[in-house]
Amino acid sequence: MIVGTFCLNAPQVVAQKTVDEKQVLFTYGDFYPEDVSNYAILVIESAHFDSQDIAVLKQQNAKVLGYVSMGEVNEAAAHYPELKEVTLGKNEIWNSHILNIENIKTQKTLLEIFNFNMEKGLDGMFLDNIDNYTEFGPTPEKKEALLDFLEVLKVTFPNIYLMQNSGISIIKDTYPYIDAIAKESIATDYDFKNKKYKLRDEEIFTRVLSELKQVTKDFEVPVVLIEYADTPELKVAIKKRLEVTTWPYFIGKIELQKIPDTN
């Protein structure tokens, strides 16, 4: 276990020498804080934990981040009733609704979420659905509002650690405000329609890998990979494919509700 092998702060640690599966963990289910330790970065659903739990997690792990969607709100989320009247459409796959980040009420609600999490003692936040603001997402015209909000976050919480999920094509705009970028499924390609786990086409894998390498070169933004598998055989294939990079990675099931070793 080499928890300190990579420090996800710019400049990018190009000289990272090893990839350890326990470097990063993404889990949005409930668990006993005492059971999770020695991760360089741990991403959780903070609603399951109080300040004492967070303190334990921070003692046992280098950096603890909470989850927040910057582009959508799930119908099960506590803040959905506040925002349902100002959303812009629905993502049927995740039963979530598209946020209007230009809306003052939306901004206020999101800022309250950040404040609540930082007061709990978290090191920062994992920003999901940033790709909604790219040319491939439903709200590319809201990108400037997103950038304005990120700037507000950095002013309000100067020491906050922000990990952007996806949105590679707008990293040129977001990089001043973030500390790392996560990218899901460069080696794998989960089929949501048929609920099947599989490897991604080799050509697409190579292209996305190249794009991420360019990101680290141009903007010195550290990269974390998130892959999905449901069998030991697929996990082995993923690890083999990722041997070409030294970036830390996580492999788990698509729901991210359990710690992989206990799946």
Cβ-count burial 223-249 (b if 16+ within 10 Å, e if not): bbbbbbbeeeebbebbbebbeebbbbb
CA angle 51, 52, 53 (to 5 degrees): 90
Q: Residue 63 falls within a domain, yes or no?
A: yes
Confidence of residue 20 (pLDDT cuts 50, 70, 90): very low
Is residue 72 classed as helix, strand or coil in its secondary structure? strand
**Region 28-35 average pLDDT:** 97
Confidence of residue 59 (pLDDT cuts 50, 70, 90): very high
Query: What local confidence, expressed as pLDDT, does residue 93 receive?
Result: 85
Confidence of residue 22 (pLDDT cuts 50, 70, 90): low
Distance, in Å, from the CA atom of 45 to the CA atom of 147, rounded to the nearest integer, reads: 24
pLDDT over 90 at 16, yes or no: no
The answer to whether residues 105 and 83 touch, using CB atoms and an 8 Å cutoff, is: yes
Q: Residue 1 falls within a domain, yes or no?
A: no
Confidence of residue 21 (pLDDT cuts 50, 70, 90): low
Count of the separate structural domains present in the chain: 1
Is residue 124 classed as helix, strand or coil in its secondary structure? strand
pLDDT over 60 at 263, yes or no: no
**Region 10-17 average pLDDT:** 32
Cis check for the bond before 11: say yes or no (omega within 30 of 0): yes
Q: Residue 239 falls within a domain, yes or no?
A: yes
Query: What local confidence, expressed as pLDDT, does residue 94 receive?
Result: 84
Query: What local confidence, expressed as pLDDT, does residue 157 receive?
Result: 98
Q: Residue 7 falls within a domain, yes or no?
A: no
Q: Residue 173 falls within a domain, yes or no?
A: yes
Cβ-count burial 148-164 (b if 16+ within 10 Å, e if not): ebbeebeeebeebbbbb
pLDDT over 80 at 7, yes or no: no
**Region 58-81 average pLDDT:** 97
Domain that holds residue 83: 21-262
pLDDT over 80 at 14, yes or no: no
Query: What local confidence, expressed as pLDDT, does residue 168 receive?
Result: 96
Q: Residue 220 falls within a domain, yes or no?
A: yes
pLDDT tens readout for residues 105-152: 999 999 999 999 999 999 999 999 999 999 999 999 999 999 999 999
Query: What local confidence, expressed as pLDDT, does residue 260 receive?
Result: 87
Which residues have a Cβ under 8 Å from the Cβ of 110 and sit 6 or more positions away?
68, 70, 99, 101, 149
Q: Integer distance in angstroms from the first to the last C-alpha of the chain?
A: 21
Distance, in Å, from the CA atom of 127 to the CA atom of 69, rounded to the nearest integer, reads: 6
CATH no. for residue 245? Answer: 3.20.20.70
Q: Return the minimum-mean-pLDDT range out of 2-6, 161-165, 202-206, 225-229.
A: 2-6
**Region 165-186 average pLDDT:** 98
Give me the DSSP letters along 150-176. Answer: HHHHHHHSTT-EEEEES-GGGHHHHTT
Q: Residue 10 falls within a domain, yes or no?
A: no
Distance, in Å, from the CA atom of 203 to the CA atom of 69, rounded to the nearest integer, reads: 30
Confidence of residue 100 (pLDDT cuts 50, 70, 90): very high
Q: Residue 231 falls within a domain, yes or no?
A: yes
Q: Return the minimum-mean-pLDDT range out of 11-25, 52-66, 72-86, 107-121.
A: 11-25
